């Protein structure tokens, strides 16, 4: 009986230990490193295991150098500096990549033949001959694939290989339907490529020069490519994808060295199998390394091959029978039967005495409950204290990483100089409570940038709390810039920034709550647009122009918004404009006219002069405002690829229509129903046209624009009473300058002295 109770106590201890510390306490830790220390192990969504790497210091050979293109979203890895895009790297010796398609399009008597060198690989890399097939698709097509192959790890340039296939049919539809989606020569042909090919060139052409009577009015295409055959299916769906695809998946083989194992092992310095639990095996292209049975990991790193816990993984060759207890060992495992069972654990585990097991179960439950209760009492308080310390540490870490110390110092300096405290740094607990734990029912806006929640602060103030989805530490300085710029703006038509929170992984911004959505939503929604009369639209334009004039002329130092668009103009219930999003804005020092900076903004609104020269001035805001003014007149989006080509760019289409005398053909139907508006519409159109001048010097200033729009509104008596008691705009910067408009009237507009252009140093990042 004694041995049984010893086993019971051991089993109870095992159960209690797992209850206290979770599954990780029962399992040995593994080394999950896939590359050397201090080396990047991924590019975007692709892991880059050693011997591949993104720097020469981390890679084993230059052939395994990977270039990560961070300009793409997400970032994408490429083989060295080539156009070969990597999608995955396997330590089993395979590399999945994307490569170009050779295309030959023809129709209506026109043929554009293309011959494209498909791939040229460095040594140790070859095209996989079993996974890939050479495919040609078309109704009058022959395709040739040729190149060179390797032998025993060396590139052989002679003899070369040449092969190909021919595809004929009356039409692709007949080929797909008649051949039941098979690629056998009718509309599609295929052939294999030789083993060890490192260079592949594709030639695509026609036997009859595409002289088919049923194709005179149709533009058709032929294609040729080497592709992973698991990703190819000759069907209508696949053909439609080919018309839009630029690249297709391809499987490459790689070896770690050019020699065979017997020769490579003689030189311990260059021998690549570094892990103690690894072994070498020959490959057609050289040799590779693998972890021994019972181990997994990276055999090219010291201690890279770690023990597999077969008791958890339970692969198909798992040998423990039902009821057996598995015990993991280094490189293997053992199977034993539990107490009151007979057998070896590999072939059988039979119950000896059911009544004794029931007794033992009761005993185990009692002891386990007692031990568990003791563990809860002993460790409960410690765990709670640990969690509090951990949470406090994380908040401090996020606060520092999000630039909290820098922001506090700069806000303190601003408060001391202006004696005003307008921006509050909230705690995470305050915003958690304000949004009811970021309840999904509080969501008022959501998009690619993140989520906006409606929150109720302690003083019952309704706020909009902006929570971004992504984490980009490179944008922290831009975030601080937005807070600082906002802290120095006090204008009735600017969305007020109440504060921010830096204790969370992603910084949170707290704004005043604007209830009626964006100008873009009202303009591009048919139902909402019908409620926007010409008077309301010109009121919004005048208020927006007033904000920009204030930023350029009254704020000190002046501010260039740099991202004016209809999405960044909010409307309250009375359709009062509220300008938002100052993340890209610039505080410009005096006595400077231009600033050299990275281009930021939104396509369709970007100043073409700024886009070409990288020189930012206040006239860049004038151009963007001109685009918004055209949106107000036409109700159209600034850039829409669903429209005909000549109408995709709203600015170009608007200018062309005005020059041709077709202005009223493109105006929004909701504002041209009253014939009495014709003169006013023409005047605003001329103002918009002046704002959209390609050359910045030919554009009016925001002072002039604001004065013209305000003068027009006074003549119309549309909203004179609304502005009669408007809030006095003021700057909270060091020296506030008054908004004085000294202007004189001419035949077509109001002329105002332009303010001096300014410059500021660039802040990294952009949108």
- The band of 714, judged by pLDDT with boundaries at 50, 70 and 90, is low
Q: Are 322 and 349 in contact (CB under 8 A)?
A: yes
Share of the chain above pLDDT 70, in %: 80
Domain presence at residue 235: yes
User: Minimum mean pLDDT among 33-42, 355-364, 488-497, 608-617: which range?
Assistant: 355-364
* Same domain for 649 and 578: yes
Question: Given 194, 221, 254, which residue is the final one in a domain?
Answer: 254
Q: Measured between alpha carbons, how far is 477 from 472 in angstroms, rounded to an integer? A: 11
Q: Measured between alpha carbons, how far is 163 from 142 in angstroms, rounded to an integer? A: 11
From the list 120, 86, 114, the residue with the least C-alpha distance to 101 is 114
Domain presence at residue 94: no
* Same domain for 413 and 523: no
Q: Which two tokens stand for residue 656?
A: 């062309």
* Same domain for 593 and 481: no
Question: Given 512, 529, 558, which residue is the final one in a domain?
Answer: 512
Helix axes 702-716, 618-634, angle to 10 degrees: 30
Neighbours of 234 (CB within 10 A): 22
Among the ranges 2-6, 113-117, 180-184, which has the highest mean pLDDT value? 180-184
* Same domain for 224 and 141: yes
Domain presence at residue 183: yes
Q: Measured between alpha carbons, how far is 746 from 690 in angstroms, rounded to an integer? A: 15
* Same domain for 176 and 112: yes
Question: Is the model more confident about 302 or about 468?
Answer: 302
What is the predicted pLDDT for the residue at 420? 56
What is the predicted pLDDT for the residue at 290? 94
* Same domain for 138 and 194: yes
Domain presence at residue 56: no
What is the predicted pLDDT for the residue at 422? 67
* Same domain for 473 and 596: no
The CATH number of the domain holding residue 423 is 3.30.200.20
- The residue written with tokens 């439609």 in the block is 240
Domain presence at residue 335: no
Q: Which of 563, 607, 621, 668 is catalytic?
A: 563
Phi and psi (nearest 5°) for 152?
Answer: 55, 45
* Same domain for 508 and 523: no
From the list 614, 639, 757, the residue with the least C-alpha distance to 699 is 757
Domain presence at residue 19: no
Is 467 a known ligand-binding residue?
yes
Domain presence at residue 222: yes
Q: Measured between alpha carbons, how far is 252 from 268 in angstroms, rounded to an integer? A: 28
Domain presence at residue 604: yes
From the list 539, 532, 470, the residue with the least C-alpha distance to 506 is 470
The pLDDT tens digits of the residues spanning 439-449 come to 999 998 776 56
Q: Which residue range(s) make up the domain with 471?
A: 404-512
Q: What is the DSSP letter of 162?
A: E
Number of domains in the chain: 3
* Same domain for 542 and 498: no
Q: Measured between alpha carbons, how far is 458 from 453 in angstroms, rounded to an integer? A: 16
Q: Are 195 and 252 in contact (CB under 8 A)?
A: no
Q: Measured between alpha carbons, how far is 188 from 182 in angstroms, rounded to an integer? A: 8
The pLDDT tens digits of the residues spanning 622-638 come to 999 999 999 999 999 99
* Same domain for 473 and 612: no
If residue 127 lies in a helix (H) or strand (E), which one and from where to where?
strand 125-127
From the list 201, 200, 197, 166, the residue with the least C-alpha distance to 184 is 166
Question: Given 444, 477, 512, which residue is the final one in a domain?
Answer: 512
CA torsion sign for 176, 177, 182, 184 is negative
User: Minimum mean pLDDT among 57-66, 343-352, 361-370, 405-414: which range?
Assistant: 405-414
* Same domain for 595 and 452: no
- The band of 334, judged by pLDDT with boundaries at 50, 70 and 90, is very high
Q: Are 275 and 299 in contact (CB under 8 A)?
A: yes
Mean local confidence (pLDDT), 490-496 = 89
From the list 163, 144, 147, the residue with the least C-alpha distance to 155 is 147
- The band of 32, judged by pLDDT with boundaries at 50, 70 and 90, is low
From the list 235, 250, 232, 215, the residue with the least C-alpha distance to 99 is 250
* Same domain for 469 and 527: no
As a three-state string, the secondary structure of 414-447 is HHHHHCCCCCEEECHHHHHHHCCCCCHHHEEEEC
Residue environment code for 670-693, b if the CB has 16+ CB neighbours within 10 A, otherwise e:
bbbeeeebeebbeebbebbbbbbb
The CATH number of the domain holding residue 549 is 1.10.510.10
From the list 305, 344, 306, 309, the residue with the least C-alpha distance to 328 is 309
Q: Are 59 and 300 in contact (CB under 8 A)?
A: no
Tell me: pLDDT of 261 over 90: yes
Q: Does residue 330 have an active-site annotation?
A: no
Alpha-helical segments (H) within 491-582: 519-523, 526-529, 534-549
Exposed (0-12), middle (13-18) or buried (19+): which is 208, by Cβ within 10 Å?
Answer: exposed
Tell me: pLDDT of 14 over 80: no
pLDDT mean across residues, the chain:
79
């Amino acid at each position: 009986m004694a041995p049984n109770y010893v086993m019971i106590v051991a089993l109870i201890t095992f159960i209690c230990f797992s209850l206290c510390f979770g599954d990780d306490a029962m399992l040995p830790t593994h080394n999950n490193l896939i590359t050397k220390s201090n080396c990047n192990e991924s590019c975007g969504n692709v892991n880059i295991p050693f011997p591949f790497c993104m720097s020469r210091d981390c890679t084993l050979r230059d052939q395994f150098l990977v270039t990560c293109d961070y300009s793409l979203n997400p970032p994408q890895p490429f083989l060295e500096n080539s156009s070969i895009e990597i999608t995955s790297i396997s330590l089993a010796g395979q590399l999945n990549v994307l490569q170009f398609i050779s295309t030959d399009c023809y129709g209506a008597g026109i043929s554009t033949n293309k011959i494209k060198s498909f791939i040229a690989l460095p040594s140790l890399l070859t095209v996989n001959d079993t996974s890939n097939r050479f495919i040609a698709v078309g109704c009058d097509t022959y395709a040739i694939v040729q190149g060179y192959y390797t032998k025993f790890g060396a590139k052989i340039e002679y003899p070369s290989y040449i092969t190909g296939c021919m595809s004929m049919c009356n039409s692709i539809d007949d080929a797909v339907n008649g051949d039941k989606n098979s690629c056998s020569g009718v509309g599609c042909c295929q052939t294999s490529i030789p083993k060890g090919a490192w260079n592949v060139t594709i030639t695509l052409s026609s036997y009859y020069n595409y002289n088919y009577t049923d194709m005179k009015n149709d533009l058709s295409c032929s294609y040729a490519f080497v592709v992973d055959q698991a990703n190819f299916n000759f069907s209508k769906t696949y053909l439609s994808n080919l018309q839009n695809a630029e690249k297709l998946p391809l499987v490459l083989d790689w070896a770690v060295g050019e020699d065979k194992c017997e020769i490579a092992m003689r030189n311990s310095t260059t021998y690549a199998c570094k892990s103690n639990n690894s072994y070498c095996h020959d490959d057609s292209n050289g040799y590779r390394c693998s972890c021994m049975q019972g181990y997994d990991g990276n055999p090219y790193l010291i201690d890279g091959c770690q023990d597999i816990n077969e008791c958890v993984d339970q692969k198909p060759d798992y040998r423990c029978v039902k009821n057996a207890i598995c015990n993991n060992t280094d490189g293997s495992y053992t199977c034993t039967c539990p107490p009151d069972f007979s057998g070896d654990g590999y072939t059988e585990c039979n119950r000896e005495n059911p009544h004794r097991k029931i007794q033992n179960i009761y005993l185990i439950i009692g002891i386990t409950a007692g031990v568990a209760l003791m563990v809860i009492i002993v460790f409960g308080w410690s765990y709670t204290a640990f969690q509090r310390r951990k949470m406090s540490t994380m908040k401090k870490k996020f606060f520092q990483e999000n630039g909290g110390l820098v922001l506090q110092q700069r806000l303190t300096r601003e408060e001391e100089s202006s004696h005003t405290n307008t921006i509050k740094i909230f705690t995470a607990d305050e915003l958690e409570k304000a949004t009811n734990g970021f309840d999904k029912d509080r969501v008022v806006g959501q998009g690619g940038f993140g989520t906006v929640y409606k929150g109720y602060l302690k003083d019952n103030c309704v706020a909009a709390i902006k929570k971004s989805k992504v984490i980009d530490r490179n944008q922290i300085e831009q975030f601080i810039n937005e807070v600082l710029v906002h802290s120095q703006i006090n204008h009735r038509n600017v969305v007020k920034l109440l504060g921010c929170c830096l204790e969370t992984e992603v910084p949170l911004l707290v704004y005043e709550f604007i209830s009626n959505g964006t100008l873009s939503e009202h303009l591009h929604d048919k139902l909402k647009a019908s409620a926007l009369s010409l008077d309301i639209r010109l009121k919004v334009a005048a208020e927006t122009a007033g904000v920009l004039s204030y930023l350029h002329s009254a704020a000190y130092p002046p501010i260039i918004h740099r991202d004016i668009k209809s999405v960044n103009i909010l409307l309250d219930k009375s359709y009062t404009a509220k300008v938002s999003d100052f993340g890209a804005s610039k505080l410009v020092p005096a006595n400077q006219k231009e600033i050299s900076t990275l281009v930021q903004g939104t396509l369709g609104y970007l100043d073409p002069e700024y886009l070409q020269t990288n020189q930012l001035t206040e006239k860049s805001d004038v151009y963007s405002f001109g685009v918004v003014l055209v949106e107000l007149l036409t109700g159209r989006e600034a850039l829409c690829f669903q429209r005909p080509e000549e109408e995709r760019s709203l600015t170009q289409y608007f200018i062309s229509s005005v020059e041709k005398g077709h202005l009223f053909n493109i105006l929004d139907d909701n504002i041209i129903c009253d014939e009495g508006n014709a003169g006013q519409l023409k005047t605003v159109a001329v103002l918009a046209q002046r704002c959209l001048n390609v050359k910045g010097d030919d554009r009016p200033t925001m002072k002039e624009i604001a004065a013209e729009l305000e003068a027009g509104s006074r003549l119309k008596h549309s909203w004179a009473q609304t502005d009669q008691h408007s809030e006095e705009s003021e700057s909270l910067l060091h020296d506030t300058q008054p908004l004085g408009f000294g202007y004189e009237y001419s035949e077509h507009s109001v002329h105002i002295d332009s303010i001096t252009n300014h410059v500021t140093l660039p802040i990294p990042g952009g949108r």
